Amino acid sequence: MKQIVYTASPESQQIHAWQMQEDGALTLLQVTDVAGQVQPMVVSPKKDFLYVGVRPNFRVLAYKIAADGSLTLAGEAPLPGSPTHISTDRHGRFLFSGSYGDACVSVSPINSDGLPQAPIQVINGLDGCHSANIDLDNQTLFVPALKQDRICLYQLGQDGQLTPRQQTQLDAEEGAGPRHMAFHPNGNYAYVVNELNSTVDVYALKNANGAVTRVQSLDMMPPDFSGTRWAADIHLTPDGRHLYACDRTSSTITVFSVSDAGDTLSIEGFQATETQPRGFNIDNSGRFVVAAGQKSHHIEVYDIGERGLLRPLARYAVGQGPMWVVIHALA
Ligand SMILES: O=C1O[C@H](COP(=O)(O)O)[C@@H](O)[C@H](O)[C@H]1O
């Protein structure tokens, strides 16, 4: 499988594109200079565009992905707030942007050429909005509002409009700060990393009564950790067997194994990583993790071994302040 690793470095306003070899080694393919601080990124479901949120002039840029993985700017559209996270629905018809600073989530239609347009809906009042995550059924958008310790639930309409679900929100523990999410490939469970208390919550999505419920909450820090908790990102291997979450103060990636059903996590170990890991990702074959150090200005590649434990392979200098990693499988 040929893969490209894209990293966003807002301080130097660059996107680096790396070819990933079969053994996990990276070769630099392209450095794209961006007119603005480049932050969250996502590849379109059809795998033909990389969408990138930038600031301080809040907008989303659409980069066409060539057959070799290189990027060409193809369009841009305004966003209503500073983009902290962007994502699309499962069919690539709508782009969602969550804004921490502007406390909102927005919906932008994506036209038939793959280009995002101006937003058609903005929902305000989501203090510390940190991500927008559509479930595998493409029905419910989960929107963590970190400062309100809640995850708002919206039904996605055919026209892209979001309406509150009957169960309007999930309540996190007080002071938890829900931030990023991952879904199990079976569609039955979701995992949430909480920034402020560095815990991971497991939610059951398919209860008989239609309610979403929390079924487990786990401390992700080593037992001897006594610093300020500051978790950031969370990802699951494509087979659903291993989950990873990172904490920035300790510069650690916590390794979890996931039960067969997806309902129970167990900690397998802790991997020291690049300084202040704000973003990381897992390759499409489920064999490698790539983590970005916001303060080390490097990315590091790990091999996923037995029980999901990580083995460092190599580290690479990128731009300044790298904080987002996306891994794209070439057709
Ligand atoms: O990780 C964090 O994210 C928020 C929002 O980030 P931003 O890049 O959208 O400004 C940040 O303000 C918060 O302090 C931090 O922990």
What's the alpha-carbon Rg for the chain, to the nearest Å? Answer: 18
Query: Identity (one letter) of the amino acid at 272?
Result: A
Query: What contacts 86, CB < 8 A, 6 or more positions away?
Result: 40, 41, 42, 51, 52, 53, 60, 95, 96, 97, 98, 132
Q: Tell me, what's the ipTM? A: 0.93
Q: Ramachandran region of residue 38, left (φ > 0), alpha (ψ -120 to 50) or beta? A: beta
How far apart are the CA of 211 and the centre of ligand 1, in A? 30
At 18, list the tokens: 């790396």
- What is the reported pLDDT for 287? 98
Q: What is the pLDDT of residue 154?
A: 98
Strands (E), 283-322: 288-293, 298-304, 310-317
CB-ligand 1 contact for 294 (6 Å cutoff): no
Instruction: Give the pLDDT means over successive 10-residue stretches in the chain (331 positions).
Output: 97 98 98 97 98 98 98 98 98 98 98 98 98 98 98 98 98 98 98 98 96 98 96 98 98 98 98 98 98 98 98 98 98 81
Q: Which atom of ligand 1 is nearest to the CA of 195?
A: 16
Atom index in ligand 1 nearest the CA of residue 323 equals 8
DSSP for 123-162, please give it: EE--TTB---EE-TTS-EEEEEEGGGTEEEEEEEPTTS-E
Cβ of 281 closer than 6 Å to ligand 1, yes or no, is no
For the record, the structure tokens of 291 come out as 């983590």
DSSP, res 81: S
d(C-alpha 103, C-alpha 70), whole Å: 33
100 Cα to the center of ligand 1, angstroms: 7
84 CA closest ligand 1 atom index: 9
Given this model, what pLDDT does residue 331 score? 81
Other Cβ atoms less than 10 A from the Cβ of 82: the count is 18
How far, in Å, CA of 9 to CA of 44, rounded? 20
pTM: predicted TM-score of the whole model, two decimal places: 0.97
